[in-house]
Chain A
């Protein structure tokens, strides 16, 4: 991952911006939106190993002066699904669907969706973290040094 950051720095003009945008290290909340209200049903359990590795790589890039952190922000990014089958398909792309916790969550979503009335949607709340990093290289490709 550090190598990917070095490659990004190589192709980026000096002083220009790299944006690192990815899900925050927090379990996604799943629920039913019915009318204007959200009813939480459970959370998606994830390991976050890759996210932690990415955080370490960014920390390294900042510590060694490859990039400078200009800003960091966090905001919600929701996914909206219409059926429990769609939810199951989405979950299977990245989580262990066979696990008892996730099977239970899928059942909960199915039941809640069935019993909900009117306009209803399955919603997954997932906060995103956005880091804005500035390339510290000079035009000659050398790194700027800070005193």
Chain B
């Protein structure tokens, strides 16, 4: 079995405590291979997830379960130059990337 990150889901519990995620428009900056993105989608968020690494975005897209196709959007992008309109997200998360 490959590397498991946070199998106890402490991270998910902590995120659940600090915000309501259901139906929120969330921008995840530094999504990597999408590990946390899937957890945010499980909380009910609509996630736009960006990372500067093209290969990681490709990996994340491949691993996206079909049931989250409408709820997760992966894009190549950098934190310093966000290509989104102003005031377009309810939550922004810097995930291990800042």
Contacts and interface: CB of A to CB of B under 8 A. Distances in A.
Contacts of B54: none
Contact of A80 (B7, B18, B87, B96): B7
Interface on chain A toward B: helix, strand, loop, or mixed SS? strand
A54 B7 CA distance: 27
A10 B81 CA distance: 11
A73 B94 contact: no
A81 B27 CA distance: 30
A76 interface: yes
A-B pairs, top 3 by smallest CB distance, nearest first, are A4-B79, A19-B93, A80-B4
Given A14-B87, A16-B90, 4 more contacts: A11-B89, A19-B91, A75-B11, A141-B87
Contacts of B11: 21, 75, 77, 128
A4 B84 CA distance: 13
Interface string B9-51: 0110111011100000001010000000000000000000000
Chain B, interface size category, equals 35 or more
Given A7-B80, A10-B86, A11-B86, A20 B2 contact: no
A22 B96 contact: yes
B85 interface: yes
B63 to A, nearest CB: 18
B10 to A, nearest CB: 5
A90 interface: yes
A1 interface: yes
Chain A, interface size category, equals 35 or more
B88 interface: yes
24 contacts: A1-B98, A7-B80, A8-B94, A11-B92, A12-B89, A12-B90, A13-B89, A16-B91, A17-B19, A18-B92, A19-B19, A19-B91, A19-B93, A19-B94, A20-B94, A21-B96, A22-B97, A57-B98, A77-B11, A79-B5, A81-B3, A86-B3, A90-B3, A128-B11
Nearest to B7: A80
Contacts of B79: 4, 7-8
Given A20-B98, A75-B10, A132 B18 contact: yes
A130 B4 contact: no
